[in-house]
Amino acid sequence: MTLSSVHIIGVGGYLPERIMTNADLEALVDTTDEWIAERTGIRQRHIIAEDQMTSDLAVEAAKMALLDAGITIDDIDALVVATTTPDMIFPSTATVVQSKLGGKEFPAWDVQAVCSGFVYGLAHLEGMMRAGMYKRVLMIGAESMSRIVDWTDRGTCILFGDGAGAVVLEAGGPDAENGMVGSILHADGSYRELLKAHHTHPKLSPEMHHQKIDFRIDSAGTAAVEMKGNEVFRIAVTKLGSVVKEILAKHELTDSDIDWLVPHQANIRIIQATAKKLKMDMDRVALTVATHGNTSSASVPLALNDLYRSGKLEKGQLILLEAFAGGFAWGANLLRWSK
Ligand code: COA
């Protein structure tokens, strides 16, 4: 069997209108713009509107990616949403997105690997599409993390933001030189207590969510991200450093072969540590953490969208995507840009 090449043929992103700055957070918790910017690199984040759901963010990003690919939803034969903040426990957010986009009967499912969801989804789709299972797939990362953040916990609420990023993947075509090179995924559930959220958040209505932000209602007892920040930080730096080396070695490539690093945007210091490990200048790293914060599974496709829209990407360039997440689950994808 000849394996197909797999290409990104469309990219899109969407951020909700409302911006919450670090100064806004100073009014909510005992923190300062200076502390947040210095420890995380974050200056602001976007917050989902009361009448929006994760699927709505996903739909907007998907529409942009379809437009960019020059195709419509009728050309798609599978749809995957990576999300930690699904509209409901079930059905999957992917089926909601399919319906909102007017898609018909193709398979649609969610991937849950928290902040690594997009990297996980891309890895699985790469394998499926190489084997001929699907021709064109919408892969979306979409999150409303602000709905599961404890807005009284200064150690976590400063970190997260909402948004969605999407790509259209296509198998085959004449450009066999470019496209996905490969992926590596890892998980170690023995670390699960260090970063988690219990699963009561669907009980929170969007109205309650906004009351929590605006009136500081204590969200104890409802779903909230819990994190041992400095331990997560330390392990993230180590695991990301090793997975980027592992994927390069697997494909007989070296640091200097990489043109762009598109990292998960959790903390500028984690990103700098990975770039240093790869001996990469920061001007070859896609950075959105300052303006988006950590948008979990949306962060990698949003950063890719940002880099793509900047006009800096050139056909044939080697791009390394990486992410680290609760679980812990982490991984990396390598691809040669095809557009
Ligand atoms: N504003 C001001 N002070 C804060 C604060 C805030 N928002 N959050 C925590 N602090 C305080 C702590 O209470 C602590 O005070 P103490 O020394 O008096 O006890 C001090 O700052 C240091 O806290 P610590 O948690 O050790 O800070 P840190 O340098 O590790 O930075 C994070 C905290 C959360 C920014 C950092 O650990 C981090 O980014 N971790 C990884 C997060 C991550 O990537 N998560 C998602 C993975 S997908």
Scanning the chain, the segments in alpha helix (DSSP H) are: 22-26, 33-40, 54-69, 93-101, 117-130, 206-215, 229-250, 268-277, 289-292, 299-309
Q: Please, which pLDDT band fits residue 183 given cuts at 50, 70 and 90?
A: very high
CA of 40 relative to ligand 1 center, distance in Å:
9
The ligand 1 atom nearest the CA atom of 325: 48
The pLDDT value given to residue 3:
82
The pLDDT value given to residue 219:
46
pLDDT tens track for 131-173: 999 999 999 999 999 999 989 999 999 999 999 999 999 999 8
Are 64 and 13 spatial neighbours (Cβ–Cβ below 8 Å)? Answer: yes
d(CA 57, CA 74): 20
What are the φ/ψ torsions at residue 109 (nearest 5 degrees)? Answer: -150, 160
What are the φ/ψ torsions at residue 137 (nearest 5 degrees)? Answer: -130, 140
The pLDDT value given to residue 157:
96
Which residue owns the Cα nearest ligand 1 atom 36?
A: 229
Are 142 and 212 spatial neighbours (Cβ–Cβ below 8 Å)? Answer: no
User: Per-residue pLDDT for 200 more than 90?
Assistant: no
d(CA 335, CA 321): 8
Q: Please, which pLDDT band fits residue 208 given cuts at 50, 70 and 90?
A: low
Q: Please, which pLDDT band fits residue 220 given cuts at 50, 70 and 90?
A: very low
Total domains in the fold of the chain: 1
Q: Which residues contact 113 (CB under 8 A, 6 or more apart)?
A: 82, 119, 120, 121, 187, 297, 325, 327, 329
Q: Which residues contact 287 (CB under 8 A, 6 or more apart)?
A: 265, 268, 271, 303
Which residue owns the Cα nearest ligand 1 atom 13?
A: 155
pLDDT tens track for 248-258: 999 999 999 99
pLDDT tens track for 49-88: 999 999 999 999 999 999 999 999 999 999 999 999 999 9
What are the φ/ψ torsions at residue 51 (nearest 5 degrees)? Answer: -95, 15
User: Per-residue pLDDT for 329 more than 60?
Assistant: yes
For the domain that residue 5 is a member of, what is the CATH number? 3.40.47.10
CA of 146 relative to ligand 1 center, distance in Å:
18
- pTM of the full structure: 0.94
DSSP annotation of 160 reads: B
The reply to whether ligand 1 has any atom less than 6 angstroms from the CB of 196 is: no
The pLDDT value given to residue 207:
59
Task: Tell me: cis bond preceding 91? Omega within 30 of 0 counts.
Answer: yes
Residue given tokens 């909230």 in the structure block: 224
Q: What would the mean pLDDT of 161-189 be, rounded to a whole number?
A: 96
d(CA 201, CA 88): 9
CA of 36 relative to ligand 1 center, distance in Å:
9
Which residue owns the Cα nearest ligand 1 atom 43?
A: 266
Full domain range(s) for residue 290: 1-339
Which residue owns the Cα nearest ligand 1 atom 28?
A: 230
User: Per-residue pLDDT for 199 more than 90?
Assistant: no
Mutate which of 239, 267, 274, 300 for ligand 1? The one with the most ligand atoms within 8 Å of its CB, which is 267
Mutate which of 21, 24, 39, 299 for ligand 1? The one with the most ligand atoms within 8 Å of its CB, which is 39
